[in-house]
Chains A and B, each alone.
Chain A
Amino acid sequence: MTVDAVYLLQLTLNGITLGLLYALIAVGLSLIFGVMEIINFAHGELLMLGAFAMAFALPVMGLLYWPAMAVAILATMLAGLAIYEVLLAPLKPDEFERSILITLGLSIIIIHAMQYIFTATPRLVDTQYGFEGIEIGSIRITWTRVIGAGAALVAFGGLYAVLRYTQFGRAMRAIAQNREAALMVGIRPRVVARNAVVLAAGLCGLAGAAISPIQLVTPYMGQFLIFKAFALVIIGGLGNIPGAIVAAVALGLVENWIGGFFEIVWQEAAVFVIMIAVVFLRPDGLFKRGGMRVG
């Protein structure tokens, strides 16, 4: 097998884009885990809702990308708020098992409700950018991929600033690091948990909106993503946000490389093979584990 450099570069660029979108999911999962000590198994469905919201908003907005994305983000944030208030807020701190059942059940309900209402037919989403892209030599990358990657980077910058420099974000890290100390300084855990869920849902909405013109939109698109994102959170070191981002981008790359050169089944298996290897070799993940480190 000869490796064509241009092909490899193309795969690499696509891999980075996909990886950044994975990272948005993984970071949200990490955020919710840090603050609430639960795994939100309905996280992938928030991405799916974001993708559907984008798909429906685009025609209404005259195919304009940014306004439709804003609608998608807002819609998933509202969904996140509803999920928190109805299902997660009543959870007590030590009810991890219940949280698994609740979020897993919710995930299945959302998938089937969406399928019932909108059918399982995959949707192709068109935006103002169509399938145009930039061409460098014989490499072509569509605008929707470039913009998706750019939006993800901006979101990470914003998230970093919020977690690092605002009391709103610091309170999330505070709870993740020491629950009793958080109470000591007067933090209201439920308010912070709600903020974290809504923020994480917004990141899912962004990822879903960005992914919808790149991949087909179906009610199932988020289903396996949660397991990938969960694997990434483990690989990156539980509670380590930059770790999750690095792991996600690396996964996007590996998947695209493997998918480009081997059979597609290996692409899907790669993340779990890597996760199992990491768990055996470095039980705490590749990067330092810790109370929601941001740097």
Chain B
Amino acid sequence: MGICLPNPGEAHINGVIVPEEKAYEEAAKQFLMAKVPTLFPGPLVLWAWNEKAAKKATAIRHLYNTLKECVQPGQTPMLIPMPDYRPKYPKINPEVEINPNHPNLTIWHNKIDCCMFIGVHCHQANLSLKIIRGGTSCYTIAMCAQAGHEDAMLSFRDASVEKIMKLADAVKRLKGSVKPRLTSAKHGA
């Protein structure tokens, strides 16, 4: 049996459907525990297609700033873009960008142990999440604007500015409540 996607107002954590409120808490804890908690904004928010996209970008920057304020010394939040989906063969700089065709390179290079995708089209997000799950031990979160991602370990659905801000609030609220994992996991991540 596969993973059921959440209904509106719900999320999933490791394939188990939960009320969305629980997912905010869990995602915030995962960020606060990670050595390198990272946000991966995709083309839908990096490019100012319309006002909504620009507002989401502002909210993502706020979430990133919140992470920086709330982590402890030794934890390094990152904000790494996925500007488009070209395979960028033969060379990509995994330090400064992530590519859906080989996202593991960015995870390994920056030793990322918790990441959140936002503003990435479904197919490319699924591809990236699968590759990350298959080749690293990074915890994956999807702030999905559609029905959620079965390939993420934790997935929200119907992403909006409000939901991103709510996640930032949860991070603030839970600051100091969990112990950061200050050694990185096995595969660089």
The yes or no verdict on A and B being binding partners is no
